[in-house]
Amino acid sequence: MRKAIVTLSSAALLLGFGGTSFVEASEVNNANEMVQSAQENGSNNPDGISLENVNEQELTQFLTSVENIPDSVLEKGDKATNDYIQKENSNLTTSERGAVGCASAIGLAIASNAFSAAKIAKVKDVLKAAGGAKTFAQKLVPAYKEARKSMSKKDAAVSAVKSAGSAAGPQALSAAIGFFSVGQVYSDCFE
């Protein structure tokens, strides 16, 4: 028991002082677990949609709503952020396959606490660095399509997010990759 406590304490200290906070490490781990769970449950089926078929306008519309979340709301924490998103995007809460599915899945990931207010703030930084939600979406879709010529869906998704958000800092970019890697978001946006 004592050895386990020492090991856990050491791990917490390493994560806390190593540049990645414990919360960030936990969220990355949760996102990875969600992607793995989604794949194990069959959501990695070839009959899913492909990002090249997603309507850029609808994706832009939702990313713009993320971009426009007031910083004052994000500063109030996850509950306030989730309440705001549910109120502002109530029309996107029904996930369906196709063009709306991707934006719906993003909304649900945020609203269901799969993504924290701190991470959303970093995603906003990526969108801003890319020139806004519209520019990000316009870069994301063709970057994914090009990457799919030589990469798996998952690797192409990561590559596309990196390409579209290349002007952002590494922590913000990591948050954006995590954002698009959350189980249903990954499935509905990239499969």
Q: How confident is the model at residue 53 (pLDDT cuts 50, 70, 90)?
A: low
Q: How far is CA 146 from CA 114, 150, 164, 191, in A?
A: 29, 8, 12, 15
Range of the domain at 120: 21-190
Phi-psi region of 19 (alpha: psi -120 to 50; beta: other; left: phi over 0): left
The pLDDT of residue 40 is above 60: no
Q: How confident is the model at residue 141 (pLDDT cuts 50, 70, 90)?
A: confident
Determine, yes or no, domain membership for 57. yes
Residue of higher predicted confidence among 93 and 147: 147
Task: Say what the pLDDT of residue 188 is.
Answer: 54
76-99 pLDDT, tens digit each: 988 888 788 777 766 554 444 444
Q: Of 150, 167, 161, 162, give the one whose Cα is nearest residue 190.
A: 161
Residue written as tokens 């030589």?
A: 150
The pLDDT of residue 17 is above 70: no
pTM of the model: 0.61
Ranges 44-58, 72-86, 109-123, 146-160: which has the least confidence = 44-58
Alpha-carbon distance of 151 to 153, in angstroms, equals 6
Number of domains in the chain: 1
Determine, yes or no, domain membership for 16. no
> 102 and 188 in contact (C-beta within 8 Å)?
yes
- Give the ranges where 41-98 is alpha helix by DSSP (H): 56-67, 71-75, 78-88
Q: How far is CA 123 from CA 13, 47, 119, in A?
A: 26, 29, 6
Determine, yes or no, domain membership for 12. no
99-110 pLDDT, tens digit each: 445 555 566 666
> 187 and 44 in contact (C-beta within 8 Å)?
yes
Give the 3-state secondary structure of 148-182: CCCCCHHHHHHHHHHHHCCCCCHHHHHHHHHHHHC
Determine, yes or no, domain membership for 4. no
Task: Say what the pLDDT of residue 154 is.
Answer: 81
